[in-house]
Amino acid sequence: MKIGILALQGDFSKHGEHIQKLGLDPLYVRTPADLESADGLIIPGGESTTIGKLFVDFGLTETFIKRKTTLPVFGTCAGMIMMAKEIIGRDQFSLNLMDISIERNAYGRQIDSFEAEINTGIASLGTVQGVFIRAPRISRTGQEVEILASFEDFPVLIRQKNYLAASFHPELTENLNIHRYFIDMVNSTLESNNA
């Protein structure tokens, strides 16, 4: 199984370390050919307008559109913004994968970054440490979106079919549970595609 990690900007190498600790070789995605051979895609934290611009400049859009219904995607922070149907008050590129509305930087500026314990309702995920860095707030979720964890009344970890997103950074803690959960999603997709 090849877990692709979009490696244009942001903390992609941290995701790579987690994937390695889970026994897989990360595939750093920069070209359409890389994207073509990935079985799942992680979009890291960073700066969402920059990641979006580079995504277009690196010519990844067409391949992504072709693969998007069967490609599991996991976005953290800026990566989650890239997946949102609506980014409130901004006109910026998005992959438009999840029926959510996002407010960028709603948890404050860089200096207001914080950590919090996040209790998920999922046995395999347990309680995770949430690292929030200029984090986006999920201010609306559509009916198809499953809320896996909330913090202070707002969802922070969500899933819609093949898509998983977190407003915090699981790649910046030692806990591998959320990455393992994503790998399980990719496995199930591969099995159902081959069935």
DSSP 50: H
15 is catalytic: no
Residue with tokens 């977190």: 166
DSSP lists the bridge partners of residue 87 as 102
Q: Cβ contacts of residue 34 below 8 Å, gap of 6+?
A: 4, 27, 28
What is the amino acid identity at position 102? I
Residues binding ligand GLN: number (CB under 6 A): 12
- Selection from 101, 86, 82 nearest residue 155 by Cα: 101
52 is a site residue for ligand GLN (CB under 6 A): no
77 is catalytic: yes
- Selection from 82, 170, 83 nearest residue 130 by Cα: 170
47 is a site residue for ligand GLN (CB under 6 A): yes
Quick note: the x/- pattern for ligand GLN over 6-45, rule CB under 6 A, is ---------------------------------------x
CB of 20 to ligand GLN, least distance (A): 21
Nearer to ligand GLN, 15 or 134 (CB): 134
Where in the sequence numbering do the catalytic residues fall? 77, 169, 171
Which positions lie near ligand GLN, rule CB under 6 A? 45-48, 77-78, 81, 104-105, 133-134, 136
